[in-house]
Amino acid sequence: MNKKTIQILSTKKLSTSQLQLANELGICITDIDFIFIHTRIDELSTSIIKNIQDNDFVIFTSKYAVQAVASHLKSKSIKVYCINGATLNAVQNELPLSQVIASAAYAADLVPLIKISRTSNYYFFCGNKSLPTIPQFFIQNEMLLNKVVVYENIAMPQQIQQEFDGVMFYSPSGVESFLKMNTVPSLSICIGTTTANALKDEKKIKLIAEQPQIENMIALIKRYYL
């Protein structure tokens, strides 16, 4: 008897290799973007980026921030603190001269790893809906942080008519966009705890990837339905 194919909705577009991996595991993923990422590099942010010197510290919690500033920073030997998974991969691929000082699964795990230096410059490139975790750390330590918003999360909500066995979520803003026209699904697969916390209905099942990577989310779905 053939096993039933698992039908999953992804709230953002996935790569061909990721869709193929899922298909090989008996998972059919329908991928739809519920968030549009708009890069926002204005004259002020460009000026700040150009002033960054070799050995300055730069913090990233999103691959979109890395991609937004990569063309300006790829020739500089900056020191980086970042989130694991797609963000770390983007740093390694887009900023070849950078040195990753530390990385962690979440911003809350990253801040204890940030070395405090009163003589160093720190920059945090982020989106318009970034969490306050990084700025609060610098405020608590009475340190100056140059926070620069370099992209915007723009919601693209749409109502889903088809029934799915689960829905994949990647950010609180993606959850917010989905819930504008849909209810909390019976099964949510989340890239991390911050995203899972955005789903308020505690009666529904939430699976959280151990590492913030889409491949881990796909493996989690397979294990759940074994």
Among residues 160, 116, 121, 163, the alpha carbon closest in space to that of 141 is found at 116
Same domain membership, residue 167 and residue 149: no
- Cα end-to-end distance, the chain, whole Å: 15
Residue 108 lies in a domain: yes
Per DSSP (E only), the strands in the chain are: 6-10, 27-31, 35-39, 57-60, 79-83, 99-104, 122-127, 146-155, 166-169, 187-190, 205-208
Q: What is the domain-level CATH number for residue 140?
A: 3.40.50.10090
DSSP structure string for 156-180: ------S--SEEEE-SHHHHHHHHT
Among residues 59, 29, 212, the alpha carbon closest in space to that of 134 is found at 59
Q: Using the predicted structure, report yes or no on whether residue 1 has a pLDDT greater than 50.
A: no
Residue 215 lies in a domain: yes
Task: List pLDDT tens digits, range 92-121.
Answer: 999 999 999 999 999 999 999 999 898 999
Residue 1 lies in a domain: no
Same domain membership, residue 116 and residue 53: yes
Q: Using the predicted structure, report yes or no on whether residue 59 has a pLDDT greater than 90.
A: yes
Cβ neighbours of 87 (radius 10 Å): 20
Q: Can you give the pTM of this predicted structure?
A: 0.89
Provide the pLDDT confidence category of residue 49 given band limits of 50, 70 and 90: very high
Same domain membership, residue 160 and residue 139: no
The number of domains in the chain is 2
Domain boundary among 128, 153, 178: 153
Residue range(s) defining the domain that contains residue 77: 37-153
